[in-house]
Amino acid sequence: MDAFFLTRQPLSRWREFNFALHQVQHAIEPNLSLEHTLLNWNVVARALAENPRTRPLQCVTFKP
């Protein structure tokens, strides 16, 4: 048997979890620079904004 295998300590579960957590974070978090995001904030906000409502106002529809 390999001498390294016999003397090797068991892996820390926290170390394995930490490694897996970083792998998942790198997979799902976009790699954006803060400067680029702030410079293009208006474009981002406009793209995420909802469309204006087109329904009529209730005060006009239900006049007494």
The rounded average pLDDT for each run of 10 residues, N- to C-terminus, in the chain (64 residues) is 62 89 91 91 94 80 67
Q: How far is CA 39 from CA 20, 30, 31, in A?
A: 33, 17, 16
Q: Where in the chain are the domains?
A: 3-61
Position 13 scores a pLDDT of: 86
| Cα–Cα dist 32/38, whole Å | 10
Q: Whole-model pTM?
A: 0.38
The CA-based diameter of the chain, rounded to the nearest angstrom, is 93
Position 39 scores a pLDDT of: 96
Position 5 scores a pLDDT of: 58
Output the CA angle 36-41-46, nearest 5 degrees: 140
